[in-house]
Amino acid sequence: MKIVNIKELDQVLSTVHVDEAHDPLHDVEVSLANHKVVVVPCMLAVADRPQVPQEIALVIPRDLCRKGQPTRHGLMHAAAEAVRRHLAHRKHPWLEVRARVNGVLTPLMRVHTA
């Protein structure tokens, strides 16, 4: 799990190219895939109610995927975008994005806003 503060979130979003030659592929649950994007169902937990996560979807462009699976950078970028969208409407001390990796609900990113 990547833990970042709100300023580092902008760095994740601004990263355009990351060398992922050695990025291990994971079996991430994919709910939809076409020639342009892969959609990964996720849960967004917030500090106010961490036991009641909200269902969200991470939309990952195919250029951030390999062999039908999102790369680590693709997942982090999409998670950062989802957090940024959520923070535009509500403020929380922290948010956590979780996805099913190898069949297990796994935290991908936690963002501390304070």
**pLDDT of 48-92, one tens digit each?**
888 889 999 999 999 999 888 998 888 999 999 999 999 888 888
Whole-prediction pTM value?
A: 0.83
- The mean per-residue pLDDT over the stretch 2-28 comes to 67
47 neighbors 93 (Cβ within 8 angstroms): yes
If one counts the domains in the chain, the total is: 1
**Quick one: pLDDT at residue 22?**
46
**Quick one: pLDDT at residue 20?**
53
Range of the domain at 98: 2-15+24-112
